[in-house]
Amino acid sequence: MDKKLQIDLQKTPKHVAIIMDGNGRWAKGIGMNRIFGHRNALTAVRESIEAAAKINVEAITLYAFSTENWNRPKLEVEGLMQLLISSLKKELPTFQKNEVKVNAIGNIESLPKKAQNTLADVINQTKDNSRITLTLALSYGSREEIVNTIKNISKKVVNKELNIKEIDEKTINNHLYTFNLPDVDLMIRTSGEQRISNFLLWQLAYAELYFTDVLWPDFREEHFYDAIIDYQNRERRFGKTSEQITE
């Protein structure tokens, strides 16, 4: 049976975040180098975005490069940056066709100039699309994001634009890189690893976590739907009792 038909379209998560992991192991498994694995990850990216759009997910956030990933071998980092540029260019027509609005979070200024320019161009060209927001986490680290948030809020306090008494959860939300995104409902991580790896620490506070052994280059539309179906079979209690939820 078509997996998509098992999905309750009234209960789709608004915001799905994915830690796309396992490219290196996938490549190693077939005797190829790590870059080959990254290059073969594009189909998974495309299928996930399309699947999300089909079931009316509003926002999808993909962890593409972490602040810690700068510590990988130089050749791999360079390969990833080149791949980012070529993929963005290659995917632009698909973004337009599927009405994908592209957004980015992270320390974007630390990316090579050419990657920054390509990214800015794609963000600009897709800014009026409204079917789904695709956020690319690039040179992203949640702790760095929180440090940045604290600095920006502190500046406002020092400049007397903000009173300490006024600082609440909303203030924090509004100063995070994700200020314009809904809370994450579902976080998917591929490749069998069960950790957060400095991804969206604040935003994942009440997300449902879904781990699969599938390596990212093998991840397809049906795997995405598996995660959604699993999510829909959970009871999100937000601290309440089960009785309160079902009443």
Residue numbers of the site for ligand IPE (CB under 6 A)? 19-25, 63-66, 69, 80, 191, 193, 195, 197, 216
| CA 96 to chain centroid | 19
In eight-state DSSP terms, residue 121 is: H
When binding is defined by CB under 5 A, the residue of 7, 21, 60, 126 that contacts Mg ion is 21
- Binding segment for Mg ion among 17-25, 67-75, 132-140, 171-179 (CB under 5 A)? 17-25
Q: How far apart are the first and last CA of the chain?
A: 32
Q: What residue 122 binds from ligand IPE, Mg ion, none (CB within 5 to 8 A, per partner kind)?
A: none
Residue 220 interaction partner, one of ligand IPE, Mg ion, none, beta carbon < 5-8 Å per kind: none
148 is catalytic: no
Of the residues 21, 40, 98, 185, which is catalytic?
A: 21
Say which residues have a Cβ less than 8 Å from residue 136's Cβ, sequence separation at least 6.
61, 62, 64, 102, 103, 104, 105, 119
Chosen from ligand IPE, Mg ion, none, partner binding at 63 (C-beta under 5 to 8 Å by type): ligand IPE
Residue 121: active-site member: no
What distances in angstroms separate CA 99 from CA 117, 165, 209, one per listed residue?
A: 21, 41, 27
Nearest residue to ligand IPE by CB is 24
Euclidean distance between CA atoms 207 and 99, whole angstroms: 26
Binding site for Mg ion (CB under 5 A): 21
Catalytic residues: 21, 69
